[in-house]
Chains A and B, each alone.
Chain A
Amino acid sequence: MDSVFGKYRNLNTPIHKMDARLKIFALIILMVACFLPYARSSIINSEGIPEYFGYYANTFLVLGILALIIFIIMIISKTSFKSFLKSLNAIWLMIIFLLIFMVFIPRTTSTETLHPIVTFSNGYAIYWDGVLQCLHVVLRIILMLALTLILTSTTAPMDITYALDWYMKPLSLLKIPTQIFTMIISLALRFIPTLLEKSQRIMKAQKSRGVDFNKGFISAKVKSITTLIVPLLVSCFSISDDLSVAMYVRGYEPYGKRTNYKVLTFKLSDLLAFIILLVILGFFIFLCVMAQHYHINFWEFFGIKGTW
């Protein structure tokens, strides 16, 4: 069960001890930082010469800094790199998809500025711009994945739920029953491992009856998957039946008032983390403005000169 993406690991690190609300806030902040535009607004540099690689290098540099920050957080929080690498397996298909789209159809305003790698005889070409743009997107997705992994592996599902509940509080002013959403999310999170175990058991049972989940073309695979999904669905219903009875017996009323056993506390260390986060956000917004507005090449600060 260790391979489950972002499964909570009960460790004792500063990141684990952080307030869940702050962690969700941090996730949003860092994700925003991932997606801010760090490229200069134009490919033509201040001397009037087009700089193709320089144009993309800005973004790579800033994303590199961000990756370093996230890497440090991963080390502090003792997030398992193995599960991170495993989770990358899941986005392979997406990367290939992006590559196909972006390599052949690079996104630029005028075709003159595009830099072909190869030009085919029929006029089609593969452009450097497409490849580099694709790499930007992939890098951003990987960083986002890492962030999510850190959140889910350092925060108990229930704490995430409480934090979400806290964020949804303003909605209760509009008479939206937020506590029901919280309960639904927490139950869903609670039953993921149970259902996974169940699905593995069903899979084994079906394998012993001769269903092969790995072989065959897509149509055969779909057929074998239905032998897994139908029993799983049926057992889902029986679980939910049992669960609702158990909840009823223990006096649960969806719209009734409840007290909370767990209370999230905002500690002094959280305040410190909050300030650090704001500084990080400020820094990245600053970089963004510098690049976009003042056309500054960041790599020049590292003593690298000249046009690429």
Chain B
Amino acid sequence: MNKPIIEFKNINFSYDQEDELILKNVCFSINEGQYVCLIGHNGSGKSTIAKLLCGLLNYQDGEILINGIKLNDENLEALRKDIGIVFQNPDNQFIGSTVEDDIAFGLENRCIEREKMISLVHDFSKRVGMENFLSKQPEELSGGQKQRVAIAGILALDLKIIIFDEATSMLDPQGVEEIRKLVFDMRKKDPKLTFISITHDMEEAYLADKVICLKDGEVFLNDTPENVFKHEEELKSIGLGLPFIVKIKNDLLKHGIKIDENIKNIEDLAGFLCK
């Protein structure tokens, strides 16, 4: 389980040779089955990392290893078949005209036979809870539903790595909660699935296995959420806050109340305090 699936080694990247570097000497590794959150201020290079991973951008300097294989032009086609991205805007990534068409789009591209495709579409629409909406058009769906369809379309491809590029930032709190639950189920069903979430949502980051914080294109912090959120001042300096629960814990600590490290959600905290 501890095999690194993604490794970034000294990546420098800029869109143009003369331009300022967007990524500066970025090094990190992500293990198979991990849930990693990439956080950072706007323009810190989070999305660039996602684009580099699936070959949308070419890196000039350094090495990206996926499953131990160096990503280059020759093997890009093969390697990017293991990576899927769910983007921010639910409307702009809805390709098919109906829910089922959209889930099937990626499968069509992989030349999967029709019978198998139909059963896959049904399975995965059920998994994201959209089985009753198969013939619906995107206008008839809410943002959260569209995003779930996008996730089903990615999941159906049987990928090893799934990246959420601010996938929940345009959703209402209910939509965010739905997607979070879905991710939880997804990882439970397939423990080998590596999940990278690019997010501004610190609450989500707190639930991750690992948090990588970027600052001006450099890896600033790369640790477990507990350790990352100990750097309150540094995070504040780049415009990031702390998750609610960490704030409460810190405040309680100031008043001399020590909270158990394992408590990760509000309910548990309330239970602990009532004891």
Chain A 224-255 residues near chain B, CB threshold 8 A: 238-239, 242-243, 245-253
- B6 beta carbon closer than 8 Å to chain A: no
Q: Residue-by-residue, is B73-97 near A (CB-CB < 8 Å gives 1, otherwise 0)?
A: 0000000110111010101111111
Chain B 105-124 residues near chain A, CB threshold 8 A: 105-114, 117-118, 121
- B101 beta carbon closer than 8 Å to chain A: yes
- A193 beta carbon closer than 8 Å to chain B: yes
When chains A and B are docked, how far (Å) is the Cα of A262 from the Cα of B87? 26
B130–chain A nearest beta-carbon distance, Å: 16
A198–chain B nearest beta-carbon distance, Å: 9
Interface centre among B84, B97, B105, B157 (most CB of A within 10 A): B97
- A219 beta carbon closer than 8 Å to chain B: no
Q: When the two chains form the complex, which single residue of B93, B98, B118, B137 contacts A242, counting CB atoms closer than 8 Å?
A: B93
Does B95 contact A258, Cβ atoms closer than 8 Å? no
- B32 beta carbon closer than 8 Å to chain A: no
A2–chain B nearest beta-carbon distance, Å: 11
Q: When the two chains form the complex, which single residue of B89, B110, B117 contacts A251, counting CB atoms closer than 8 Å?
A: B110
Q: When the two chains form the complex, which single residue of A10, A245, A261 contacts B101, counting CB atoms closer than 8 Å?
A: A261
Q: Residue-by-residue, is A125-165 near B (CB-CB < 8 Å gives 1, otherwise 0)?
A: 00000000000000000000000000000001110000000
When chains A and B are docked, how far (Å) is the Cα of A189 from the Cα of B101? 14
When chains A and B are docked, how far (Å) is the Cα of A193 from the Cα of B139? 7
Does B97 contact A158, Cβ atoms closer than 8 Å? yes
- B153 beta carbon closer than 8 Å to chain A: yes
Does A261 contact B139, Cβ atoms closer than 8 Å? no
Contacts of A197 in B (CB 8 A): 139
Asked whether A261 and B111 contact (CB < 8 A) given A242-B92, A245-B56, A251-B81, the answer is no
When chains A and B are docked, how far (Å) is the Cα of A93 from the Cα of B109? 46
Does A261 contact B107, Cβ atoms closer than 8 Å? yes
Contacts of B54 in A (CB 8 A): 248-249
When chains A and B are docked, how far (Å) is the Cα of A247 from the Cα of B108? 12
Task: Report the contact-size class of chain B (Cβ under 8 Å from the partner).
Answer: 35 or more
When chains A and B are docked, how far (Å) is the Cα of A243 from the Cα of B111? 21
- A257 beta carbon closer than 8 Å to chain B: yes
A236–chain B nearest beta-carbon distance, Å: 11
Contacts of B137 in A (CB 8 A): 8, 193
A251–chain B nearest beta-carbon distance, Å: 4
Does A242 contact B87, Cβ atoms closer than 8 Å? yes
When chains A and B are docked, how far (Å) is the Cα of A253 from the Cα of B95? 14
B143–chain A nearest beta-carbon distance, Å: 13
When chains A and B are docked, how far (Å) is the Cα of A257 from the Cα of B113? 12
Does A261 contact B109, Cβ atoms closer than 8 Å? no
Does B92 contact A259, Cβ atoms closer than 8 Å? no
- Nearest-CB residue, chain A, relative to B55: A248
Q: When the two chains form the complex, which single residue of B100, B109, B121 contacts A256, counting CB atoms closer than 8 Å?
A: B109
Asked whether A246 and B108 contact (CB < 8 A) given A1-B139, A158-B96, A262-B101, the answer is no
Does A10 contact B95, Cβ atoms closer than 8 Å? no
When chains A and B are docked, how far (Å) is the Cα of A18 from the Cα of B19? 58
Does B85 contact A260, Cβ atoms closer than 8 Å? no
Contacts of B26 in A (CB 8 A): none
Asked whether A246 and B93 contact (CB < 8 A) given A1-B139, A252-B109, A259-B114, the answer is yes
Q: Write the residues of chain B forming the contact surface with A, with a CB cutoff of 8 angstroms.
A: 51, 54, 56, 80-81, 83-85, 87, 89, 91-98, 100-101, 104-114, 117-118, 121, 135, 137-139, 153-154, 157
Name 18 A/B residue pairs within 8 A (Cβ), A-sorted.
A193-B137, A194-B91, A242-B89, A243-B93, A245-B51, A245-B56, A245-B87, A247-B95, A250-B153, A251-B110, A257-B111, A258-B108, A259-B112, A260-B108, A261-B100, A261-B101, A261-B104, A261-B114
**A250-B105, A251-B106 given. 11 additional CB < 8 A pairs?**
A190-B95, A190-B138, A194-B139, A245-B51, A246-B87, A250-B109, A252-B105, A256-B109, A258-B108, A261-B104, A261-B121
